[in-house]
Structure 1
Amino acid sequence: MSNRPHGYARYRLGGCRCYVCALARSDYDDNRNRAIAYGTWQPWVSAEPVRIHIRSLQACDMGLRTIAAAASIDRKRLQAIVTGRSERGTGPQEKVRPALAAAVLAVEPTLDNLGGSTVIDGTGTTRRLQALVAVGWPQDHLGHAIGVTPGNFSRIIKAPTVIVRTARAVRDLYDAYWRADPLEHGASRGGITYAKRRAEQARWAPVGAWDDDTIDDPASFPDWTGRCGTPEGYVAHEQHKIPYCQPCRDARAALRREQRQQARQAAAA
């Protein structure tokens, strides 16, 4: 679990979805959207929302130089907004042009602009690796592809946190391998069979169970059947001998409670 304090950075990098972190993300979005909207008509806008945004990005381990590069703005202009211009002895800048505000507010922490050693939530990374194993990719083959030892790979595939450099490597590997045939890339038939058996025993969801929009979200569940989270999904698990997922168990339990309630009402009538 992340050691960051609860707030925007922990929501984005630590995967925390508690009330405090979710509220911080909501406030962040409200501040950003409101500032962008104001920038569409005012010749000058307050620098405060931009300053808050920069500090939020810094809390995610993004330095001013990185933020400036992502926004295509000179770093000194951001420095003037955050702390002022020391050579002029002035305090933080109070007003900025709308174009500058919009450029800075458009920057968000992503795998492509965070520092390589930044520690982030490992949910998406572990799910991608486990999904590849589930469709037959041997673990030693995957470990070699991202440049880690078998021991480190065994840790990464179940790690609650990873560094950005590893997450990038796994993301790129997943994008390249998820539709590929392991046999055509040097994996043996025995290795493929063993990988699938290992994933089945560990109940690792395969590639088809994840959407790109949900695979990184710690609160999401794999859709094993295409109807998971419904009573029909529960039946599909049973028919295809797929291990039951929690959303389908919950849907089945809800249906049974409803049926019992209906039975009681019918008996009373």
Structure 2
Amino acid sequence: MSTRTPSMRAAHNHMQARRRRLKAIGQWEDPYVPAEPVRSHLRAINATGMSFRAIADRVGLPHDSSLQPLMWGRGKWGPAEKVKRETAELVLAYWPTLHDFQDDALIDVTGTQRRVQALAVRGWSRNEIARRIRMREDNFRKAISKDRVTAYLARQVAAVYDELWNQDPVDHGISRNAVARIRANAERSGWHGPLAWDDETLDEPAAVPVTDAVEPIASEGENLAARWLLGESVVLTSEARKEVVAHLFEWTNDTTEEIAEKVGMTPAAAEASWHRMKRQARLEGRRMWRRVYVPRERTLKQNEMEEAA
């Protein structure tokens, strides 16, 4: 015999009816999602040099009750096949920044190497970077050639990168011949400049450069995101690209793959950027969600949308 009270049964029936209506118009979201992509993301973060316990602390999840069953299972049960959508969004929206690590932590060198290479595309040498962080040139070259680098050194290189990425070395007294040699070597090596990288994903080993942007007629001025959305050929800065991604996810029914193709990102990078923006909005007391979702095989009637509300 059921132990549910009449009010509990009524609430259950209401939720089931609402679920059926939402499914009928393509608006239903399962509260649980596959766990493997979340596990893979956690393993990737762990590979940068951050412990699972530290990751749980950063995203605000209890280690024992959330990550333990997700990663390794508990008791006789193996790793979970499904995870709560909220937990998945928290984890997938997080990628450690350089400031999340202690000075002596050994972290993945990929982001540091990309910054050095991007500066080389602009004409800045490794020796000049070493000089600016007051490090011997040979020691600097050895340090960034390894698989891991200290978080302290990575932050020093990032600070130099933030200062010089849009500066011409010639304006700082570097000879034109030296700059030309460095740029030519960077081109032969197939390195990518600062505009090819999103600042938020530059340290992610799986991130890919944006290399297929159309050469713009105009690439300066304000409102780059709005101008891009109106069809003007402009190069998007990292901030403008985030505005565009947010607009496409929030106000169109484009798929993740279509959005990624439009802005020159991988689907995984576009999805992660959307999760990060939603998480930041929640921290600021705002809400972001996909406001427009229309199943492509049918047209919704107004009363169907009202019933699903």
Into which bin does the TM-score normalised by the smaller protein fall? Answer: 0.3 to 0.5
**TM-score, normalised by the number of residues in structure 2:** 0.41
**TM-score, normalised by the number of residues in structure 1:** 0.45
